[in-house]
């Protein structure tokens, strides 16, 4: 693709043609940064960048920005996830500058789950701007060095801008046009929702490649290992926008309980191996929530270790 536009290590790895590997950590429901540091320690040599979720599922947690700063102070590469549910354009720009002041170079622009799912269903929500407009806004701040209001920014942020994509959400027919829209808005990398139905993902990717979008944006395929058959069933039936094929649930249920985590990891690695062969896939985003200790194993078994070194 193109050369790096930012100091982002993630961007450098992608633009040098390597398959990138990212993962994510959920911050604690308290103010102890040790949790984040511990999780990051577990995975740091096996990933190129670490996403920190932003009050995911609307459950109040230590903020993504502070968590990213902790990672940065450890010498690691954070990806700041930012939802538009809780902050207006003033706060969003302000937090972006906050992140930039610590030289955080990656941002993932998201809508955010509705607050009814979290611990404060009675809260107001913001949605001053949507996730597409946030992508545009960060690009404006970076490329033109301007605030949304038009004034100049002193020391503009140098951020690699990402967005999420869900090839499995409804309606299917606009999932490729939606990606095109995000690219047009300025997204430079994409992390997808976790993939279990590789065939359906391939169908989406064919549409993406047809339009040449894979040459304009780096697509990191999302994967999540099943910890148990129960988890597989839960994700199949209770999580919106998730496509879990029956064979996988059967496979998980077909092994005794103690063997299920192993089977889940096996499926995850197999999925990664299949996805490696799909045109347009530039890397992987491994989401192993509360199972971060397995990330190194997954990366290893998928032949993605060691991680490439790039000059900082």
Partner 1 sequence: MIVAEKKPIEEIIEEVEGYKKILIAGCNECVTVCEAGGKKEVQVLASALRMYFMNQGKDVKIDEVTLERQCDHEYLEEIRNIIDQYDAVVSLACGVGVQFMAEKYFSTPVLPGVNTCFMGVTEERGIWTERCQGCGQCILARTAGICPVSRCAKRLLNGPCGGSTKGKCEIDPNVDCAWQLIIDRLKALGRLEQDYEKLTPIKDWSTDRAGGPRKVVREDVRI
CB of 306 to partner 1, least distance (A): 33
Per-residue interface string for the shown chain with partner 1, residues 113-152, x marking contact by CB under 8 A: xx-xx-------x-xxxxxxx--xx----------x----
In DSSP terms, 285 is beta-bridged to 22, 222
CB of 17 to partner 1, least distance (A): 29
Q: Which of 240, 246, 256, 258 binds partner 1 (CB under 8 A)?
A: 240
CB of 177 to partner 1, least distance (A): 5
Q: Is the sign of the CA dihedral 253, 255, 258, 264 positive or negative? A: negative
CA pair distance 118, 95, nearest whole angstrom: 22
E strand or H helix at 71, and its extent?
helix 64-73
Provide the b/e sequence for 189-199 (b: ≥16 CB within 10 Å): bbbbbbbbbbe
Q: What angle, 0 to 180 degrees and rounded to 10, lies between the N-to-C axes of helices 246-253 and 229-238?
A: 150
CA pair distance 100, 92, nearest whole angstrom: 12
CB of 178 to partner 1, least distance (A): 8
Per-residue interface string for the shown chain with partner 1, residues 272-301, x marking contact by CB under 8 A: ------------------------------
Residue 148 token pair: 């949304």
- Binders of partner 1 in range 158-217 (CB under 8 A): 164, 166, 169-171, 173-174, 177, 180-181, 184-185, 193
CA distances from 36 to 12, 24, 68 (A): 25, 10, 9
Q: Is the sign of the CA dihedral 236, 239, 240, 243 positive or negative? A: negative
Other beta carbons within 10 angstroms of residue 82's beta carbon come to: 23
CB of 289 to partner 1, least distance (A): 17
Nearer to partner 1, 13 or 82 (CB): 82
Number of residues that bind partner 1 (CB under 8 A): 34
Other beta carbons within 10 angstroms of residue 237's beta carbon come to: 10
Per-residue interface string for the shown chain with partner 1, residues 54-93, x marking contact by CB under 8 A: -------------------------------x---x----
CA pair distance 217, 195, nearest whole angstrom: 19
Contact assessment for residue 210 and residue 177, using Cβ atoms and an 8 Å cutoff: no
CB of 147 to partner 1, least distance (A): 13
Regarding 224 and contact with partner 1 (CB under 8 A), the answer is no
Nearer to partner 1, 51 or 193 (CB): 193
Nearer to partner 1, 116 or 257 (CB): 116
Q: Could you list the residues that contact partner 1 (CB under 8 A)?
A: 85, 89, 111-114, 116-117, 125, 127-133, 136-137, 148, 164, 166, 169-171, 173-174, 177, 180-181, 184-185, 193, 240-241
């Amino acid at each position: 693709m193109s050369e790096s536009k930012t100091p982002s290590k993630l961007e450098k790895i992608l633009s040098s043609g390597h398959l990138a590997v990212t993962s994510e950590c959920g911050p604690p429901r308290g103010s102890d940064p040790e949790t984040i540091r511990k999780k990051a320690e577990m995975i740091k040599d096996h990933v190129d960048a670490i996403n920190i979720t932003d009050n995911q599922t609307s459950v109040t947690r230590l903020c993504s920005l502070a968590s990213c700063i902790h990672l940065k102070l450890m010498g690691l590469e954070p990806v700041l996830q930012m939802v538009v549910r809780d902050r207006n354009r003033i706060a969003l720009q302000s937090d972006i500058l906050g992140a930039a002041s610590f030289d955080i170079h990656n941002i993932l622009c998201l809508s955010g789950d509705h607050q009814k799912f979290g611990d404060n269903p009675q809260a107001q929500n913001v949605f001053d701007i949507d996730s597409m407009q946030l992508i545009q806004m960060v690009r404006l701040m970076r490329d033109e060095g301007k605030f949304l209001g038009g004034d100049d920014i002193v020391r503009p942020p140098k951020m690699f801008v990402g967005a999420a994509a869900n090839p499995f959400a409804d309606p299917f027919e606009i999932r490729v046009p939606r990606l095109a829209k995000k690219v047009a808005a300025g997204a430079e990398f994409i992390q997808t929702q976790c993939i279990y139905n590789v065939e359906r993902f391939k169908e989406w990717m064919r549409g993406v490649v047809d339009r040449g979008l894979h040459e304009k944006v780096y697509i990191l395929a999302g994967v999540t290992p099943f910890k148990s058959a129960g988890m597989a069933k839960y994700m199949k039936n209770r999580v919106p926008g998730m496509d879990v094929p029956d064979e996988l649930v059967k496979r998980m249920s077909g092994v005794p309980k103690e063997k299920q985590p192993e089977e889940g990891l096996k499926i995850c690695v197999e999925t990664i191996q299949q996805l490696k062969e799909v045109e347009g896939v530039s890397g992987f985003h491994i989401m192993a929530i509360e199972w971060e200790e397995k990330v190194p194993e997954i990366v290893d078994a998928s032949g993605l270790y060691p991680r490439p070194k790039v000059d900082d």
